[in-house]
Amino acid sequence: QTCALPIWAAVCLTPASSSGFAPAAALLAAGAGVAAGTDASLPTSPLATAREAGFGDAAASWHAATAAGARSLGATGGALEVGRPADFFTVSLSDVSLAGVEPRSLPGVLLSALDRRMVRDVWVGARQRISGGRHVAQGQIVGRFIALQDRLRGVPAATAAG
């Protein structure tokens, strides 16, 4: 069957919970946005989800995990363009998993092997959230979490601090 879409439409493939496969190629040919997503309650990587969806090549998987995903949510991210908020991440090219990878092969290798330990910096909405592999407010976050734990255990604030 053919389908002519008068407006941009998106289909979100959720390979971890789907019982069958969506006709991704036909949807893409019809002009639909095909995004990778999940309805799992556990945290998951959009790249891992895109890989599991079986788009066939790294470029289509990256697009499903980034630009199509952002557009399906009405978000302005998904691409580095003038006038858009900068949403991107950097990886450590000195990570042992990436050692010797040719630049043209990097997207496919990252798609299949990206691990959070490789991520160096993350920018969301033009604000840096991760620097050198650590959340920029990690010290404050951990301190507040420890204080909350102490409060829940009934430890007086003066005792907890000193």
Give the integer Cα–Cα distance in Å for 136 and 130: 5
pLDDT value at position 7? 56
pTM above 0.85, yes or no: no
pLDDT in the model for residue 22: 66
Q: Is residue 5 classed as helix, strand or coil in its secondary structure?
A: coil
Q: Give the helix/strand (H/E) hosting 131.
A: strand 127-131
Q: Is 148 helix (H, G, I), strand (E, B) or coil?
A: helix
Spatial separation of the C-alpha atoms in residues 60 and 78, rounded to whole Å: 13
Ranges of residues in the chain with a pLDDT under 50 are: 5
Please tell me whether residue 34 adopts helix, strand or coil conformation: strand
For residues 4 and 85, what is the distance between their CA atoms, to the nearest angstrom?
Answer: 31
What 3-state class would DSSP assign to 33?
strand
